[in-house]
Amino acid sequence: MSNQQTFAVLFFFRAKRNNKSYGTIYIRVTANGLRTDFTSNLDCKKTEWDSKKGHFKGTSVESKTNNLMLEQVKAKLISIFQQERLMDDFLTPQVIRQKFIGDEQENYSLRELIEYHLDSHQDTLEPCTLKYYRTTRNYLYAFLEKRKNIHDISLSKIDFRFLTDFEAFLWQYQPLDLGVRKLAHNTIMKHLAHLRTIINLAIKLGWMEKYPFKSYKISYKQSKRTYLTMYELQRIENKRFTFDRLQLTKDLFIFSCYTGLAYSDIKLLTKDSVIIGIDGGNWINSSRKKTDTILQIPLLPVAAELVHKYEDHPVSQVKNKLFPVPSNQKINAYLKEIAEICEIKKHLTFHMARHTFATTITLSNGVPIETVSKVLGHNRIATTQIYAKVLENKISQDMMELRTKLNVNTENSIVSTTKIKLS
C-alpha cells in the first residue's frame, strides 16, 4: 500500500447569494488531487473571518468557541484520513467526508458530484469538452439559486420533477450579454445530457439509488446543416484581403471546404501529415480528434495550393505545423467580417466549411455517399446521410438524365415495334 497520498483541510468563507457581506464557513477536503466542499453550518459576517489564516477573528468567547470547533473538525478529518489510508491505496475526499458525516449516501450533494466529475476527468476530457461541462455546471448552480433559492441540493432529492424544472429554467433563461440569443432546443438537450452523464457517475459510485432519467427522454431535433452554394463559395474564394488575419482565416476555411476537415483536425496537422497516396498524389494522413478515426484524404488542387502557400510560414516552420491556426473563437469572429465583406447572408462559421464539403463539393457532384462518409471520418454512414441534402439543381440534373433515358427507351421501343410490323 502506498504512503505517498496527499491530504489537506481548508476552511473558507462563502457569501450568501443575496447578501455578500454575510455567509457560511465551508470545509474543503483535498486528497490525492481531488477535492470536496461541504458546510460547517457556521455562519458569520465577512468581516469576522480571516481568509488568510482560515479562522475567526478576535478573542471573543464566540470566536474562540468557533475556532475550537474548526480545530476539532480538522483533527477528526486528519484522523479519518490516517485510518482509511491504511485500508485503501487511493483515497478520495468524498470517502473521507462520508466517514466524517457518518452517512453512507444521503448527504452527497449535487455540487460535490459536479466538482468530483470535473476534477476526476481533468486529464481525460478535452479542454473544450470540460468547458461545455463547466457551462452546464454554471446553469445548474444558477437554477438552484434563482429558481430553488438554495445553494446546494442532496442527490437523493434529484428526481423527475427536478429535471423538468431545470429544463423549464433553461428554456426561460436569458443570458446577460446583450445580443446573445436564448438557448436553442438542442443546446438545452445537450446540457441535460451532460447532467445525465454526471448522474450516471453518481449511480456507479453508489451515491444515488434512484435514477431520475429513467422516465425522462432527451430528444434532439434534426438541425439544419447550413452550407455554402458554389456561387457563395467562389465569392469567398476569389476575394483577396489586405489584412493578414482575414486572408489566413479565408484560406483555412477554403482548405476545410475542399478537405472536409474540422477545425480541431486542421490544427493538429503537421508537415508529416502530407504523404504520397496510392495514386501518386498528395494525401492527408491523420486521424479525427473527436473519434480517433483514421483519415486519408486526397488533396484537391485548391487544398494542395494552400498547403504549398504556407509551407514556409514562420509559425509553420517553428512548430512543424501545416498551417498557423488561430483560436477557433478568433476564426469565427473573423468569418463574420468575411461574410459581411463578401455579402454572404448566412451565419458563417468554420464548421460550415465541413457541411459545404459534404454537400456542395462532393455529394452534389456525384461522389458516392460511402466515399464521403470515409473522407469525413464518420463511423456510421447514417451520420453522413444527414449531409445528403438533395439540392434543387441536383434534382433538375437527375430528372433531365432520367428524361433522356426514358426518351431513348421510348424511341427504341417505337423502332422495334415498327420493325416487327414490317416483318
**Are both 320 and 243 inside the same structural domain?**
yes
Cell of 382: 447514417
Q: Of 89, 93, 85, which Cα lies nearest the Cα of 35?
A: 93
The CA distance from 166 to 397, in Å, is 49
**Are both 97 and 107 inside the same structural domain?**
no
The CA distance from 407 to 392, in Å, is 22
**Are both 349 and 381 inside the same structural domain?**
yes
The position carrying cell 454572404 is 344
pLDDT-based confidence at residue 331 (cuts at 50, 70, 90): very high
**Are both 234 and 218 inside the same structural domain?**
no
CATH of the domain at 359: 1.10.443.10
Query: Which of 101, 136, 161 is the C-terminal boundary of a domain?
Result: 101
**Are both 83 and 181 inside the same structural domain?**
no
**Are both 236 and 212 inside the same structural domain?**
no
Mean pLDDT of 403-414: 69
**Are both 213 and 243 inside the same structural domain?**
no
pLDDT at 419: 56
**Domain ranges, residue 36:** 1-101
Domain count, the chain: 4
pLDDT-based confidence at residue 1 (cuts at 50, 70, 90): very low
- pLDDT at residue 241 above 90? yes
CATH of the domain at 164: 1.10.150.130
The CA distance from 196 to 390, in Å, is 36
pLDDT-based confidence at residue 178 (cuts at 50, 70, 90): very low
- pLDDT at residue 175 above 80? no
The CA distance from 256 to 353, in Å, is 6
Query: Which of 101, 132, 153 is the C-terminal boundary of a domain?
Result: 101
**Are both 261 and 336 inside the same structural domain?**
yes
Rounded alpha-carbon distances, angstroms, from residue 255 to 268, 308, 351, 419: 14, 12, 12, 58
The answer to whether 199 and 159 have CB atoms below 8 angstroms apart is: no
**Are both 267 and 381 inside the same structural domain?**
yes
pLDDT in tens, 90-131: 678 888 888 887 744 456 889 989 988 998 888 888 787 888
pLDDT-based confidence at residue 156 (cuts at 50, 70, 90): confident
Query: Which of 223, 244, 279 is the C-terminal boundary of a domain?
Result: 223
**Are both 212 and 288 inside the same structural domain?**
no
Mean pLDDT of 190-209: 91
Rounded alpha-carbon distances, angstroms, from residue 381 to 11, 98, 371, 373, 421: 54, 47, 10, 6, 52
- The packing angle between helices 160-172 and 127-146, to 10°, is 100
- pTM, full prediction: 0.58
Residue 48, Cβ density class (10 Å: 0-12 exposed, 13-18 middle, ≥19 buried): middle
Q: Of 263, 311, 366, 276, which Cα lies nearest the Cα of 255?
A: 263
Mean pLDDT of 221-231: 83
**Are both 201 and 243 inside the same structural domain?**
no
Mean pLDDT of 283-310: 87
**Are both 181 and 142 inside the same structural domain?**
yes
